[in-house]
Amino acid sequence: MKLTGVILAGGSNRRFPVPKGLVRIGEQRLIERLLEIHKSLFDEVIISTNTPELYIQYDVRLIGDIYPSLGPIVGIYSSLMNASHDGIFVTPCDTPFIGRELIEYMMRVHEGEPIVVCRHRGIIHPLIGIYTKEILENMENAIITGRTRIIDFLEDVKTRILTEEELVHIDPEGRGFININTPEEFKKHIGGRICLD
């Protein structure tokens, strides 16, 4: 099954002072690092965003939410609706340490399941994973009926959850699952000042 790479950059950003995808880490912005990885793996890449003016300079499709202000489930749904392929690989824009190896492994072990996500230290990470078009109707029903927490949605459809034991040879410390939601997390995991320039 061919997949479209999707970077979720549509969050409200309430706990961070600037758009997280545009923060510089070394020589690259977060979004640029993820785009580099995705473009090396997928022939179609989408940025899911409700602020396309922030990402217009990147040579990829920009897809906004079909239903506004309902969280990442709508970004996944909207991207899946618009993807040219039968499924998508989703990555949030605030995961600075996710590696190509984790994505490749998840794609390799994907055996046609509707959804593939990971569990690390007891926590399921639904925003790093594979979603296929066969779940579109279920997802739309969940959105329409207000069941918009993505974790709740995973309980309603067949989902393969990769365990920490399966992933230990790829990412033994689970750094790929670290996301940067606050300035404090940025300081803890990256250090230095938050910079857009």
The pLDDT confidence band at residue 15, using thresholds 50, 70 and 90, is low
Whether 109 maps to a domain, the answer reads: yes
| CATH code (residue 49) | 3.90.550.10
**What is the tally of structural domains in the chain?**
1
Whether 53 maps to a domain, the answer reads: yes
Q: How many residues does the structure list for the chain?
A: 197
Whether 194 maps to a domain, the answer reads: no
Whether 63 maps to a domain, the answer reads: yes
Whether 163 maps to a domain, the answer reads: yes
Pair 102, 169: CB distance under 8 Å: no
Q: What is the pLDDT of residues 136-157, one digit of tens each?
A: 999 999 999 999 999 999 999 9
Count of CB atoms within 10 A of residue 131's CB?
Answer: 27
- Average pLDDT in the 175-185 region? 88
Taking the model in full, what pTM does it have? 0.94
pLDDT at 196 over 80: no
Give burial (CB, 10 Å; 0-12/13-18/19+) of 46.
Answer: buried
Q: Which residues contact 88 (CB under 8 A, 6 or more apart)?
A: 3, 4, 5, 6, 46, 76, 79, 80, 130, 131
Whether 87 maps to a domain, the answer reads: yes
Range of the domain at 142: 3-189
Q: What is the pLDDT of residues 43-96, one digit of tens each?
A: 999 999 999 999 999 999 999 999 887 899 999 999 999 999 999 999 999 999
Whether 61 maps to a domain, the answer reads: yes
- Average pLDDT in the 164-191 region? 88
